[in-house]
Chain A
Amino acid sequence: MDTIVLLAIYFARRGDMYIRPIPGLEAVNDAIGRATEMGRPILYISGLSGISDIATIAAMLILGHLAKRTAAYETPIIVPCNDPLVMTAEREIVHQAYIEAGKPDAYEPQNIFYITDSQFGYTSAVDGIMVREKPAANFFMGYFFAEALILAETGNMTGAIQIAGTDADTQLPFFITACDYTLMGEELYAAGAYLSRNPLLVAQLKGQDIGKIVLVAGLLAGVALATLANYIAPDIFDRFQSWFQIHN
């Protein structure tokens, strides 16, 4: 799999690679435009898991791109955090985005703040922010737990355009029902590549796609062997299937 990704990076540097449109990410510019026209802030929630979680890292990547675009229009972006380390990293990311957008003076660190690491304490505070600050757009990116529906439903009530993205499969149904756009699972990881068009990130995406083809081929081979095992040589299938067992 690593070789596939490295080869994809090599080829990506030689030419432009196609990424299929992802509606949730195409709507990012609309959301920023709406907030700018209405003179209201954007609310960005980067999930409730820690800084080392892949979903949080993906959410921080998206935040960087989003902040660069909001900086250009000087649209405030509010980022309440439930993890002090995530808050520290997000301040750096947003600050860097403002510098890259040529608006370092517009950066307001107090807009990225820590609330509490208690799940529902955080949720009640964010609900309060939604109804008081009335953000024009809410972004829920990262890993979420039971608070997903409470946050998305409150945002829906305030009339904000809502874009969610999570790899928490138990929470996806709630975002799909209460948000305007939802990035499902791997779409969240693809967002960084999609928004930045950075050859390295795009190539990683391409490498993952090739990896999926390999997995499907392996799966079909496994299904064929499992079916044949009912009639001939069951040990061949057992040996093949054991490659996919977890060995500690």
Chain B
Amino acid sequence: MPEAAGEINAIWGVSTEVIGLWLAALLTLAIYSFLYGDNPVYKLAEHIFVGISAAYGAGIVYHQVLIPELINPLFRPALAGQDVPKYSLIIPGLLGLMVLGRFLRGHEWISRWPIAFVMGLGAGLSIPRSMQSLVLLQMHGTMQPVWPLVTAEGWVGVDNILMIAGVICTLAYFYFSLPHRGVMGGMSRVGIWFLMIGFGAGFGNTVMARISLLIGRIQFLIYDWLPTIGIHLGGPGVG
């Protein structure tokens, strides 16, 4: 039923906004209860999460992919803004149906064809893309002058030597067909050091991002949820 302007949605006299807040807060606490150990409250939250996300995903695929991308252009062209049905969609539609061959006892092999098609297509498309973005572009960026060692901008030459040595030593670590002994062993050990320094920086950076997510959740509990039960701990929006 359409709402009148300014009307507040309510269930049994409690606004849906407050109900939403309570649900979010209780489910947040239920998930955090896993820190204590596996327990029925966590199990409940986990099953709600999995069930809702799986069902929501199916709904999204149906409404945002199947209907507008396949059903409408093929069977209801007017709704897709076309004059005639787009018959070329029969091929992907058939491939999609073939996946359901899993359910035909004795004909499970039918589902292998669309899977092989998707795997082959994906791998074929990603190889040149990876070659460009992960190899050529990196090479392009690494080709830097190593002399003079010091310029007006700083120790540019030294930085470049470190970067080039890091790249070559790291590649040595990922060289599989020679034993890592002697010069090769030394280079691969230096390569590992470069990798670990990079990972350490990445680790610290991501931990900071995770801490900020935790702060966001705790702020939600303190400043949004607690005020609904009359507890005000100060902070944004509270005088």
Structural contact, A245 and B119, CB atoms closer than 8 A: no
Structural contact, B42 and A187, CB atoms closer than 8 A: no
Partner of B178, one of A18, A120, A190: A18
Partner of A244, one of B137, B147, B167, B196: B137
Structural contact, B177 and A121, CB atoms closer than 8 A: no
Which B residues lie at the A interface, using CB under 8 A?
31, 34, 37-38, 42-43, 45-46, 49-50, 52-54, 56-57, 99, 102, 111-112, 115, 118-119, 121-123, 125-127, 130, 132-133, 135-137, 139-140, 142-148, 160, 164, 167-168, 171, 174-180, 195-196, 198-200, 202-203, 206, 210
Contacts of B202 in A (CB 8 A): 169-170, 172-173
Apart from A117-B54, A118-B49, A131-B37, 13 more pairs, CB < 8 Å: A51-B115, A52-B119, A52-B125, A54-B130, A84-B99, A118-B56, A128-B46, A174-B203, A177-B203, A222-B139, A241-B143, A246-B132, A246-B133
The CA-CA distance from A125 to B34 in the complex, in Å, is: 12
Known contacts A118-B53, A121-B54; is-contact A223 B132 (Cβ 8 Å): no
Known contacts A53-B126, A223-B143; is-contact A212 B171 (Cβ 8 Å): yes
Can you list 23 pairs linking A and B with CB atoms under 8 Å apart?
Answer: A18-B178, A20-B177, A20-B178, A20-B179, A51-B118, A51-B119, A52-B118, A116-B57, A117-B53, A122-B50, A132-B38, A177-B203, A184-B195, A186-B174, A205-B176, A219-B143, A219-B164, A226-B145, A227-B147, A230-B147, A241-B143, A245-B140, A246-B136
Contacts of B137 in A (CB 8 A): 244, 246
Task: Quote the shortest CB–CB distance from A172 to chain B (angstroms).
Answer: 6
The CA-CA distance from A222 to B138 in the complex, in Å, is: 12
Interface size of A in residues (CB-CB distance below 8 Å)? 64
Known contacts A121-B50, A186-B174; is-contact A218 B203 (Cβ 8 Å): no
1/0 contact string of A144-173 vs chain B (CB within 8 Å): 000001000000000000000000011011
Interface of B is mostly: helix
A185 contacts the other chain (Cβ, under 8 Å)?
Answer: yes
Interface of A is mostly: helix
Contacts of A57 in B (CB 8 A): 119, 123
A115 contacts the other chain (Cβ, under 8 Å)?
Answer: yes
Known contacts A170-B206, A186-B174; is-contact A176 B199 (Cβ 8 Å): yes
Contacts of A212 in B (CB 8 A): 171, 174-175
Tell me the nearest residue of chain A to B39, going by C-beta: A131
